[in-house]
Amino acid sequence: MKKILVIEDEDNIRSFVVINLKRAGYDVLEAASGEEAFEVLERNRDVVLMVVDLMLPGIDGYEICRRIRARGSDMGIVMLTARSQEMDKVTGLMTGADDYITKPFSPAELTARIDALMRRLGGNTAPSEEIVSGPFVLNLKSRTLLKDGVRIELTQVEYMIVKTFMENPNRAMSRDEILKTVWGQEYYGDLKIVDVNIRRLRLKIEENAATPKYIGTVWGFGYKWEA
Ligand code: CA
């Protein structure tokens, strides 16, 4: 999976970007400041693209960009800017950044811009196209699930749940986390929607939904994908 580093000091914007890029199939790291970003980069030499907020405490986005380029790195850089920042400033940014996105932006806009830059950076477009777990193969391109080579028909929500699980094998996930990942941060509906969908999903993918083997229940908390 292609690795992206997201640098943004505002927690809600950072998690919005992180969640949506993960959902788009990328391996996402995060940092709340430039200082932290350089530490993360030190440990992760394989980061291919950074999403950098311009306004950061300490080392700002422009300076991060400058330092990265000064090292001779050709990693992709997408700058996040506020609507209020004038155009000439943004043009100035472009000396180091490959693209910029103006806040506020939609998940679709974000992933379209990142995918496009990834393509320009060369190599094959999509990050990993398949996730394999036990008898299951999830194809991220065609959004299809195979079990022992046989297609299982899923709704889009069921597909998103399976994808979330398969990206987080053997990790207990709370109902709330599943809700936020699958239905989005803005969804304020009842957590029961998660249980309802998982019950239906078990009927489709388990050999016996009464004694689930793949989607385990973590009592009083949520669920876990048993890889
Ligand atoms: Ca900021």
We report the CATH number of the domain holding residue 149 as 1.10.10.10
**pLDDT tens by residue, 120-157:** 786 544 456 888 899 999 998 888 999 999 999 998 88
Instruction: Please identify, among 122, 150, 167, the residue that sits at the C-terminal boundary of a domain.
Output: 122
The DSSP 8-state label assigned to residue 126 in this structure reads: S
Q: Are residues 65 and 24 in the same domain?
A: yes
CATH number of the domain within which 32 lies = 3.40.50.2300
pLDDT lower than 50: segments of the chain: 124-126
Cα–Cα distance, 160 to 167 (Å, whole number): 10
Structure pTM? 0.54
CA of 142 to the centre of ligand 1 (A): 36
Q: Output the CA 191–ligand 1 centroid distance in Å.
A: 31
Tell me, yes or no, whether 149 and 50 share the same domain. no
DSSP for 73-92, please give it.
Answer: ---EEEEEEETTS-HHHHHH
Would you state the pLDDT for residue 66? 87
Question: What is the structure's pLDDT at 86?
Answer: 58
* Host domain of residue 80: 3-122
Query: How far, in Å, from the CA of 204 to the mean position of ligand 1?
Result: 44
Q: How many domains does the chain have?
A: 2
